[in-house]
Amino acid sequence: MATKKAVFVYSSELEKYSYPSEHPFNTIRARKTRKILNSMGLLSGGGRGELAPVPAERTVLKKFHSARYLHALKRASAGHWEAEALGMGIGTQDCPVFKGLYEYAVLATGATIVGARKILSGDVHVAFNPSGGYHHAGPEKASGFCYINDVALACMVLAEQAKRVLYLDVDVHHGDGVAYALYDRSDVMTISFHQNPRTLFPGTGLEDEIGEGEGKGYCVNVPLPVGTYDQAYMKAFEAIAVPLMKAYNPDVIVFELGADALAGDPLANLYLTNNTYAEIIHHLLSFETPILATGGGGYNMENTVRAWALAWSILAGADSHQELSHAVGGVMLESTEWQGGLYDRALAVTEQQRNAVEPAIEAVTRKIKKNIFPIHGL
């Protein structure tokens, strides 16, 4: 990895915008991630660097979103309220109107798109946009804190250049906007691991949603029970995602790294530590395929920022850095103050939790193996 380039996509321009203060989505997370990484010296040297985003062009936005929707979003952003916008989800509690929301969404999307283009040009092996990952936005619908679907657009931009794209979504919520955007296509495989939609927004993403037409078998949903912990998650990941990724053999991976699956997230109920994200990233790197990573959800600020800083460190080949060592902090401190570096300490799992989680994950794994694996010759 040391000779391959990794770019962290960010600019202080993104700091000009914020959701209303009472809203759980905080645009500060990207800035804080950058600050930690910068202080650790992990944004330069060893083939690592930074890249400033440019706003996504209208021609790009229109690959997925309707002109009517983009117009309404722009009008709302400039302070013009129209009933039609509300019908498209703009101005709801989840997707409030705030000053400059259009400019923010277009710039944050542009950050993902410049990463995709850098990968296409062959200049970089890894790009990470912590301000991206708006996987719920629909063609004509703001949803789940998302206005413009940067990740669906990135998959489309990459696939247009005859790339086989693997979209992996580990945000705790189903990546519905991306999955349905590509539901009938086989040039992008979408795999979403998420909390069971019977217990969480957006209410879709059960294992029987597997794509249609040419896309049948190229949409993979892995719903997980409340309380899913590291070992159970990794067991599912290794049983489902790893063989499918090997069979699909992508040219590029788009990785939506929402951090709301971590234990302690105020909006969800899984029980992961960032050690799981680290393990997943090591799997992705083993494919030696370029990776376009984005942020996403993550509503416990401190956990989210640490998870993203850790993710970048590994993606950018700095994993051996001393500050990342969990062995040091893990045995050193008894206090509740965690100073073990970027890795979370392991969490204890109860017998009751195991008994509830394991059978549910085994059942889902069996169904996916039955319905999807044969399509890929597995």
What is the set of active-site residues?
136
Taking the complex as a whole, the smallest distance from the CB of residue 197 to Zn ion amounts, in Å, to 12
Q: How far is the CB of 212 from Zn ion (least distance, A)?
A: 25
Residue 260 interacts with Zn ion (CB under 5 A)? Answer: yes
Q: Which is nearer to Zn ion, 65 or 173 (CB)?
A: 173
Which part of the chain contacts Zn ion (CB under 5 A), choosing from 49-57, 64-72, 149-157, 255-263?
255-263
Considering only 297, 317, 340, 341, the residue that binds Zn ion (CB under 5 A) is 297
Does position 209 interact with Zn ion (CB under 5 A)? The reply is no
Cα 31 from Cα 12, distance rounded (Å): 8
Min dist. Cβ of residue 173 to Zn ion (A): 4
- Pairing verdict, β 6-9 and 219-224: unpaired
Q: How far is CA 160 from CA 56, 156, 232, 247, 308, in A?
A: 16, 6, 36, 21, 29
Rounded to whole angstroms, how far apart are CA atoms 206 and 197?
7
d(CA 63, CA 291): 22
Query: In whole angstroms, what is the distance from residue 157 CA to residue 351 CA?
Result: 46
Site string for Zn ion, 150-179 (x = CB under 5 A): ---------------------x-x------
Q: Tell me the closest approach of the beta carbon of residue 297 to Zn ion, in angstroms.
A: 3
Q: Contact 255/291 with Cβ under 8 angstroms?
A: yes
CB 187 → Zn ion: shortest distance, Å? Answer: 26
Closer to Zn ion by Cβ: residue 115 or 297: 297
User: Least distance (Å) from Zn ion to the CB of residue 88?
Assistant: 21
> Which C-beta is closer to Zn ion: that of 240 or that of 268?
268
Closest among 228, 237, 326, 303 to 270, alpha carbons compared: 228
Query: Closest-CB residue for Zn ion?
Result: 297
CB of 250 or CB of 297, closer to Zn ion:
297
Lookup: tokens for 157 = 């931009």
- Name the segment binding Zn ion (CB under 5 A); options: 104-112, 216-224, 260-268, 325-333: 260-268
Give the DSSP H/E element, type plus range, for residue 312.
helix 301-315
User: Left, alpha or beta for 47 (phi > 0: left; psi -120 to 50: alpha)?
Assistant: left
CA dist., res. 256 & res. 303, Å (int): 16
Our CB check for Zn ion shows the closer of 47 and 144 to be 144
**Helix (H), strand (E), coil (C) string for 183-211:** CCCCCEEEEEEEECCCCCCCCCCCCCCCC
Separation between Cα atoms, residue 185 and residue 183, nearest integer Å: 6
Of 215 and 298, which CB lies nearer to Zn ion in the complex structure? 298
CA-wise closest residue to 8 among 56, 52, 55, 54: 52
Q: What's the chain's length in residues?
A: 378
Least separation, in Å, of the C-beta of 177 and Zn ion? 12
* Of positions 258, 290, 340, 341, contacts Zn ion by CB under 5 A: 258
Size of the site for Zn ion (CB under 5 A): 5
Residues within the interface to Zn ion (CB under 5 A): 171, 173, 258, 260, 297
